[in-house]
Structure formats: structure tokens, C-alpha cells
């Protein structure tokens, strides 16, 4: 009984009102959640930070959680306990998640067992926290929505971030010609060591001309777009016939000329991992776990923050000059 008493409260980040990074409050007296049937309780070692979590926190996103809430979906850690009917996991198993029910910015998190996956020994917990949202999103954008095929070309815009690097690794492993953009020399080097055949600096005023020179008159088949409010108009000029822009990220409005889609019968397709069916999630999981086993799926971890610095992490993921890998919180 004494054991249970010591574990009954934990440190967790709580949001009581929507707003800027300052609304993220670290509290040390949050009750440890208990797993119900088909759920597991995970002792969190690392949790990924995703741009979408900053949009949700600000209250500007389509999905608004009930307040107060704890942000965070991609955690990596060790199973602490399991609810009824859970047979796939037991106490002590190393795991990573795609999403949590109680929030990942915390010492313990509850997740549905079907959103939890075994974390192979060859990856550490920091890397485990960099798998869920980025790799599942990248796979969905490329194959489930983008219908990518070996031999096609893909341009990954903002390729040095979590989703971008995941897209580069997956596309390269699946036989696509991979082009990537980043905002720094360091970012470009990270892209090239993670699957891109060529890297371009999107701060270079002539970078789109350089991409055109690289792809030739045919253009690029697929663009994975992290900042569509900046790039979408230019993207339409870069596409091949029947090319498609996969909108993975957006931070505002943009004006485009729809005629640009007519001349090539190109498509602009939105991507939301949140809308994936159970079957689609299983397909993503299979591809991801196979990639880890084969050795080409190696998450790149970028900036790391302790839980106390969560507000700084939220500021940096939106404002920093150039990403290089997945941002994580360490517990």
C-alpha cells in the first residue's frame, strides 16, 4: 500500500486557459491516472513536442480539448501497469505511443493499448519519442494520401524537422528521388545524411529555380509541405503533370491561382493523422516497425528540454531559425 501512496501524484504540465507558451503550468501534485480496460499506464522517459501542440494550446486550432488538459501525444517509456484485457504488453516493456489519453507532458501517461507499440532496444527513449506523430504523418502523406510510387520524385519542404526527416527516410527507402529544403547549412547536412539526394536552402532567393534545374521540365511529382501559407503558390509552379502537394503544415492564409492546377491537373491534398482509420494506423505502424527492424528508420533527435522548460520549447519550435530533428522533453 505504501508503494501506491508514493506513486499517487506526479509532475505534469497543465493548461488551464488557451494562450501563449506561458499558460503551460508545471504542477507537482497531479494525480497519476489509472489505466481502464484496454489501456496501459506508461512511466514516461521522453515526450515529443509537435507544432500542432502549440496551435492547440493557443486555442486557434480546430480541435479544442476540454480545460484543463495536459498536452503531448508521442511518449516513450516503460509500461508501469496494464488495464483489463491487455495482453500485448506487461509491466517493464519498453514502448512508444502515437497518442495518449491523459497527456504526454507528464511523468506518467495513460494510452489506449492499440496506440502503443514496442520500442526496440536499438533505439533509446529520446528516439522513441520522435517516432509516433512524425513517422505516421510522413507515411500517411506519402502513401495513403499522396499515392507515392518508387521512381517518382518528392520535394520535402522543411525537411530538417521531425516530419521532414521522417519523410526523407521513408521516401528514400521506398525508391523515390528525394529533394529537401532547410533554412541552415546544418539543416541541409542533416537532410543529406537522412535520405535526401539533394538539399536546397529555402532562404536562398533563387532556390525554386535551382529545384527546377534539378527536376528538369517534368517537375516534381509530390511535395510534402510543412508551411503551405508561405510556399503553396510557388509549389504549384514546381509540380509535374498530375503532381500533388500534400499539406502537412500551415500557419495562416495564402493566395493562389487555381488555374495553376488546371494546366497540370495537379492536386492540393490536406493530411491529418487525426482522421486516419484504425486500418490505416495499423498500416503505418507495420511500415514504421519494419523500418526500425531494417535499420533505415533512425529518428533524429534535435533540441532537448527538461519538463520545467516546456514554455521555452513551445516558443522555440515556432520561432527558432532552423529545425534539426525532433524536439523532445526529457523526464
Domains recognised in the chain with CATH numbers: 9-130+299-330 (3.90.180.10), 134-274 (3.40.50.720)
Taking only the tens place, the pLDDT of each residue in 9-24 is 999 999 999 999 999 9
Cell numbers placing 185: 547549412
Q: How confident is the model at residue 50, as a pLDDT?
A: 92
Predicted pLDDT at 320 = 77
Per the CB < 8 A criterion, the answer to whether 307 and 13 are in contact is: yes
For residue 277, pLDDT over 80 is answered with yes
**Among candidates 160, 222, 233, which has minimal Cα distance to 195?**
160
260, pLDDT greater than 70: yes
57 pLDDT above the threshold of 80: yes
pLDDT at 5 over 50: no
Question: pLDDT-derived band of residue 2, with 50, 70 and 90 as boundaries?
Answer: very low
289-310 pLDDT, tens digit each: 999 999 999 999 999 999 999 9
Residue-wise DSSP of 92-143: T-EEEES--SS-SSBSEEEEEGGGEEE--TTS-HHHHTTTHHHHHHHHIIII
Q: What is the mean pLDDT of residues 88-94?
A: 98
Distances (CA, A) of 192 to 2, 45, 136: 53, 29, 21
Mean pLDDT across the chain = 95
What pLDDT is attached to residue 322?
A: 72
| pLDDT recorded at residue 3 | 52
Mean pLDDT, to the nearest integer, of 59-80? 95
Report the percent of the chain where pLDDT is more than 70. 98
C-alpha cell of residue 57: 494550446
pLDDT in tens, 135-192: 999 999 999 999 999 999 999 999 999 999 999 999 999 999 999 999 999 999 999 9
Alpha-carbon separation of residue 108 from 80, 86, 116, 255, 324 (angstroms): 8, 18, 14, 44, 27
Cβ partners under 8 Å of residue 266, min gap 6: 236, 239, 240, 241, 242, 243, 244, 245, 260
- 319 pLDDT band, cuts 50/70/90, is confident
226 Cβ contact list (under 8 Å, min separation 6): 157, 158, 161, 163, 164, 248, 249
pLDDT of residue 289: 96
- Residue 6, pLDDT score: 53
**Cβ atoms < 10 Å from Cβ of 185:** 11
Whether the per-residue pLDDT at 67 is higher than 80: the answer is: yes
Which tens digit of pLDDT belongs to each residue from 202-248? 999 999 999 999 999 999 999 999 999 999 999 999 999 999 999 99
- Residue 7 is predicted with a pLDDT of 60
Could you give the percent of the chain with pLDDT greater than 90? 94
Amino acid at each position: 500500500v505504501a508503494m501506491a501512496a508514493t506513486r499517487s501524484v506526479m509532475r505534469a504540465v497543465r493548461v488551464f486557459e488557451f494562450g501563449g507558451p506561458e499558460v503551460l503550468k508545471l504542477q507537482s501534485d497531479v494525480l497519476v491516472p489509472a489505466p481502464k480496460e484496454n489501456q496501459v499506464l506508461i512511466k514516461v522517459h521522453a515526450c515529443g513536442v509537435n507544432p500542432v501542440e502549440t496551435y492547440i494550446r493557443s486555442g486557434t486550432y480546430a480541435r479544442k480539448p476540454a480545460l484543463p488538459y495536459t498536452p503531448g501525444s508521442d511518449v516513450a517509456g516503460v509500461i508501469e501497469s496494464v488495464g483489463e484485457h491487455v495482453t500485448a504488453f506487461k509491466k517493464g516493456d519498453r514502448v512508444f505511443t502515437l497518442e495518449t489519453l491523459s497527456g504526454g507532458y507528464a511523468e506518467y501517461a495513460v494510452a489506449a493499448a492499440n496506440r502503443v507499440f514496442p520500442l526496440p532496444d536499438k533505439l533509446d527513449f529520446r528516439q522513441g519519442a520522435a517516432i509516433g506523430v512524425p513517422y505516421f504523418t510522413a507515411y500517411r502523406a506519402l502513401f495513403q494520401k499522396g499515392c507515392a510510387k518508387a521512381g517518382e520524385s518528392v520535394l520535402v519542404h522543411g525537411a530538417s524537422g521531425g516530419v521532414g526527416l521522417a519523410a526523407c527516410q521513408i521516401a528514400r527507402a521506398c525508391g523515390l528521388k528525394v529533394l529537401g529544403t532547410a533554412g541552415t547549412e546544418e539543416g541541409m547536412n542533416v537532410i543529406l545524411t537522412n535520405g535526401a539526394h539533394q538539399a536546397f536552402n529555402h532562404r536562398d532567393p533563387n532556390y525554386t529555380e535551382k529545384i527546377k534545374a534539378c527536376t528538369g521540365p517534368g517537375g516534381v511529382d509530390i511535395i510534402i509541405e510543412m508551411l503551405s501559407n508561405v510556399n503553396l503558390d510557388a509549389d504549384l509552379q514546381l509540380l509535374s503533370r498530375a503532381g500533388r502537394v500534400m499539406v502537412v503544415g500551415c500557419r495562416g492564409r495564402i493566395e493562389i491561382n487555381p488555374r495553376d492546377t488546371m494546366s497540370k491537373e495537379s492536386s492540393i491534398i490536406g493530411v491529418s493523422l487525426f482522421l486516419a482509420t484504425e486500418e490505416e494506423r495499423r498500416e503505418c505502424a507495420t511500415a514504421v516497425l519494419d523500418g526500425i527492424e531494417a535499420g533505415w528508420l533512425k529518428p533524429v533527435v534535435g533540441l532537448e528540454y527538461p519538463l520545467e522548460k516546456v514554455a521555452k520549447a513551445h516558443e522555440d519550435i515556432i520561432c527558432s531559425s532552423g529545425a534539426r530533428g525532433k524536439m523532445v522533453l526529457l523526464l
